[in-house]
Amino acid sequence: DAELLAAHRAGDADAFGQLAGRHSRELWAIALRTLGDPDDAADAVQEALVSAYRRASTFRGDAAVRTWLRRIVVNACIDRIRHERVRRTVPWPERDLPSRRPDPAVELVTRLAVGEALAMVPVEQRVAVVLVDVQGYPVAEAAAILEIPVGTVKSRCARGRARLAVLLGHLREESR
């Protein structure tokens, strides 16, 4: 990644495209889970990649290029959320699930409820929960992406999970 970024800085016309291609699925997943809307996620990733392309010369090398790209996407998502351009009640896309699938209607209701609840969690907590619990990043890596201490990520996740538990408590009782 660092070599591709250096090649881009040196004028290689294809280097940044290769770099973006390597990480596009991961960046898309972060944006989609954070924003909840495929169109907004696509816009955020595009804005982030344009920003990274233009500001490649500002990359200091303090973190991995991959972490730098993730941080730019997270910032683009936060900007979109703060400007209230996000529709907050869009279901999450289908993904491969184990062969024993629940009733599709129940699954849809659950997905909608989770998406709505996640949208109600403060943005700092939402981003931490999405990175750690949804995307599966280790807390230390999420802290590097967000450029905050590990303890702050842990506390934001804990508060976000607590809010989600209250907001989604009805799902637990309905399944009994």
Band of pLDDT at residue 152, cut at 50, 70 and 90: very high
Model confidence pLDDT, tens digit, residues 7-26: 888 888 888 899 989 999 99
> Has residue 175 got a pLDDT over 70?
no
Contact (CB, 8 A) for 32 and 24? no
Confidence of residue 36 (pLDDT cuts 50, 70, 90): confident
Q: Is residue 86 very low, low, confident or very high in pLDDT (cuts 50, 70, 90)?
A: very low
Phi, psi angle pair for 73, to nearest 5°: -65, -45
Cα separation, 117 vs 11, whole angstroms = 45
Give the whole-number percent of the chain exceeding pLDDT 70.
84
Q: How far apart are CA 7 and CA 23, in angstroms?
A: 17
Q: Cα(first)–Cα(last) distance of the chain, in Å?
A: 49
Calculate the dihedral angle through the C-alpha atoms of 9, 10, 13, 16, rounding to the nearest 10 degrees.
Answer: -30
Cα(176)–Cα(174) distance, integer angstroms: 6
Q: Quick count: other Cβ atoms within 10 Å of Cβ 105?
A: 8
Is there a contact between 46 and 96 (Cβ–Cβ < 8 Å)?
no
Cβ neighbours of 75 (radius 10 Å): 17
Rounded CA-CA distance 123/119 in Å is 8
